[in-house]
A and B are shown apart, each in its own frame.
Chain A
Amino acid sequence: MIESRHADIAIIGAGPAGMAAAVRLAEAGVHPVLFDLNATPGGQIYRQLGNPQVGAGVMGEEYQHGRSLVEAFARADIDYRPLSRVWWIGRKGTGYDLGVVQHRAQSWHAERLILASGAMERGWPFPGWQLPGVMTAGAAQILLKQGALLPGVSPVLAGSGPLLYLLAWQYLQAGQPPALVLDLASASRYRALLRQPRRAWHGRNYLLKGVRMIAALRRAGVPVLLGVDGIQAEGREAVERVRYRHRGHWKTLPAALLLTHFGVVPEPQLARSLAIPHRWETGQQAFLPERSEVLAVEERLWVAGDGGGIGGAINAEREGRLAALEVLQSLAGKAQDGLARERAALQRARRRDLEARRLLETLFRLPGDWLEVQPEDTLVCRCESVSRGEVERAITQGAAGPNQLKAFTRCGMGPCQGRQCGESVARLLAHRTAQSMDAIGYYHIRPPVHSVTLGELAAQQET
């Protein structure tokens, strides 16, 4: 048997939700252990904010907003464990067992757990998306935050979502404007918007911000094409050309770097690994773990931040605090009168914010019939190189669900554990069998959630 370290409360993830939860707990005299993949706190949104590499003028105010939180986190009394990969999660007794690799493998038992593992960019197949020179907008932004790295060439930006425009704007401020911005959001979005004037009003700040960014890009001479409905990357060893379809016509543009963004979805692996029930949320076009009003998925497990549904950094911070309040109540074993007002205020703000956010979902809605019209040889699973055609053949040969399909094709069996192809496979099955995404479901997610070597595990066995 392997000895386990014990924690009353563990948090996974040091983004805004995880940091806020930890800080709030520490304020109350509770000292959580916090595991995070990265070397410094901040998550993706506040990455490197403790030692920023680019000026505020380039990054914009959202990035700066996290400063006080990162500083509070640095001051708080927290057992913060950076560069820790939680590769295993399982239920044990009333709590949770965690397998963690931080320099070496270790086992933990946490009585209470907050999952704050955030979001990831949606895997969205198109021809050539596996070529070097195709990266996500998020990746480009990480390079900017991590080392003020800018592409040495003018990139083409394509996709849908606020991040696409934010990156375009940041590149513009940094003196490296993109060659072109291709907006692939569903063409029906403005009609949808007009039908929802109340939603537009709630989200007016988002609208205004977007309009200003697009205006700034256009002023600087960056073409922004709306209504693009096809994209392809071409090249032998790397991207050489980008093809796109605009108003029914395919056009080709020489380009070495294509930065794409198709929205963000909850990083699913930890919650899926615990077989937490999920449902398909049509607004977000994503599977979300089922949470209660107070973010609980089980008696002693909470999901806070974008990992439970995309709400953005400020909402994540709020959810982190909310989860912390629930933990405090759980530790006390009864309702805490002193926390009631704080909780109510957080929940009010959360509801208001999420309502406003629905505007973004409408504005950046991806076309629902994308994947099935991509060429047959378009890769769905990058790790195992499984094409759309191969997935379709397996469905014809009797693969009726995602797990049977995985068994028949190896789709989702590679090192990314289905993160890039899980949604696509569910979409293809739903389309072919005329069932809902909820009826189709998702892969069983198996450990390891993150990479671990046999040697690391074996060493633990022997000590």
Chain B
Amino acid sequence: MFRRSPHACQTASQVQIRVDGIAVSVPDTLSVAAAVLQVHGWQGYRRHHDGSPRAPLCLMGSCHDCLITVDGQPNRQGCLVPVAEGMQVERQGGGRHD
């Protein structure tokens, strides 16, 4: 799990999103992938079509291992979507998606 440093600048406002239905508050500067890594860590992030567990590798748009459902849209690149107030995020742990 990643946690916010105690030395962080106090310049980020918080937004509320839901991750797997549960409301959480995260800095508004985060991507969806970063937010999930803060809330849940890398365990349980996603299941690959081959059944193996996966989680973000690069966070810069190239590896596509951060795929996640955002506001009902599956397989979005979590690292390229900034969090927004009221956003519904669902981890794809079930192996239904790629």
Contacts and interface: CB of A to CB of B under 8 A. Distances in A.
Nearest to B35: A147
B66 to A, nearest CB: 9
Given A48-B29, A51-B29, A146-B30, A135 B1 contact: no
Given A53-B11, A132-B42, A147-B30, A416 B63 contact: yes
Contacts of A144: 5
A44 B54 contact: no
A383 interface: yes
B50 A143 contact: no
B62 A54 contact: no
Interface string B15-59: 000000000001101110010011001111100101011111111
A37 to B, nearest CB: 6
Contact of B7 (A175, A415, A416, A451): A175
A135 B56 contact: yes
Interface string A138-173: 110011101111111000000000000000000000
A51 B10 CA distance: 10
A8 to B, nearest CB: 27
A186 B35 CA distance: 36
A58 interface: yes
A453 B58 CA distance: 22
Given A146-B30, A149-B38, A416 B5 contact: no
A267 B62 CA distance: 8
Contacts of A74: none
A130 interface: yes
A450 B61 contact: yes
Contact of B60 (A39, A58, A120, A134): A120
A415 B98 contact: yes
A392 interface: no
Interface string A398-427: 000000000000000011100110000000
A237 interface: yes
A51 B29 CA distance: 9
Counting chain B CB atoms within 10 Å of each CB, which of A132, A382, A415 scores highest? A132
Contact of B56 (A48, A139, A238): A139
Nearest to B30: A147
A148 B7 contact: yes
B87 interface: no
A142 B67 contact: no
Contacts of B63: 123, 382, 416, 419-420
A362 interface: no
Interface in A32-74: 37-39, 44, 48, 51-55, 58
Contact of A416 (B1, B53, B62, B79): B62
B65 interface: yes
A149 B4 contact: yes
B53 to A, nearest CB: 5
Contact of B29 (A53, A132, A174, A420): A53
B34 A147 contact: yes
Contacts of A37: 61, 80
Nearest to A235: B53
Nearest to B26: A147
Contacts of B26: 147
A331 to B, nearest CB: 31
A120 B57 CA distance: 12
A315 interface: no
Interface in A113-148: 120-121, 123, 129-136, 138-139, 142-144, 146-148
A54 B7 contact: yes
A385 interface: yes
A143 B7 contact: no
B2 A54 contact: no
A54 B9 contact: yes
Contacts of B37: 143, 149
Contacts of A139: 56-60
Given A142-B59, A176-B5, 15 more contacts: A44-B60, A51-B11, A55-B7, A120-B62, A134-B57, A138-B60, A139-B56, A142-B34, A142-B60, A147-B34, A149-B38, A175-B6, A414-B64, A415-B67, A451-B77
Interface of A: 37-39, 44, 48, 51-55, 58, 83, 85, 120-121, 123, 129-136, 138-139, 142-144, 146-152, 174-176, 237-238, 257, 267, 382-383, 385, 414-416, 419-420, 450-451, 453
18 contacts: A39-B82, A53-B27, A58-B5, A120-B58, A135-B55, A139-B59, A142-B59, A143-B34, A143-B37, A147-B4, A147-B34, A151-B1, A175-B6, A385-B52, A415-B98, A420-B57, A451-B75, A451-B77
